[in-house]
Structure 1
Amino acid sequence: MQLLITMGGNSLYKELLESEGYDVNTATASAFVQQRNKILPSAVESLFHIFTQSYTDIKDYRGYRLLAVDGSDLQIATDPTEMNTYYLNQPKTKGYNLLHLNAVYDLCNRLYIDHCSAAKGMQRGKGAGYYG
């Protein structure tokens, strides 16, 4: 779980190599993904809330807590059968799957405090998303 949280922007295999000190016995990216897929989403959600709630030294700006909210599309594993997230730009091309993430970030404390995610195709309208 620690590796998932501390990963940077490199390829998965480079992150694995760096975390293991470039050991020749480092797990392959495929092996890592297979193990990662065993982690329940509720475990990640729980870890997020435990971490954010443990932060008690809340700074403010002139008595206000400054929050920024931004949305991003996240490309996820391609699965053409998942119609809520699958996009096909043009006929006879390979499509892709997207999730939409809205995140709430505390500017003074440099801390994500909440999020909402939804299938990209389902992001608007009543009940459009899951708040953690």
Structure 2
Amino acid sequence: MVDYRNYTVWKKAHGLVLDIYKTTRNFPAEEKFNLISQLNRAALSIPTNIVEGCGRETQKEFLRFLYIASGSAFELEYLILVSTDLKFIDKASSEKLTSDIMEVKKMLYSLIKKVKSNLNSAKN
């Protein structure tokens, strides 16, 4: 079991959650159960899955949760795009959030590669 707070990707994803929540506060009220909920859940899913994976007993299980976190990052990226196209997020905020999401995606990819490499080394 690993302390999730030791992972830089978790720290970055946690900050992203806070930024998404701040951003969705400005959305129209009628989006409360639509885009607001979807954005918040997708953002929360990233660090939550990292945390859950850290609590698992095997690296293989951890890897599965990292893949789920990665999928949520891709989902979040699209939700930012559609929110921008609908004029719920201004261009500057959208670019900052998208950049942060891209960084999280790259960090997850690197961690996934590392865990897979460790798993393959353990098999040999």
TM-score with structure 2 setting the length: 0.28
Compare the two structures and name the one with the higher helix fraction. 2
Compare the two structures and name the one with the higher strand fraction. 1
Of structures 1 and 2, the larger Rg is shown by 1
Structure with the larger RCO, 1 or 2 (CA within 8 Å, 6+ apart): 2
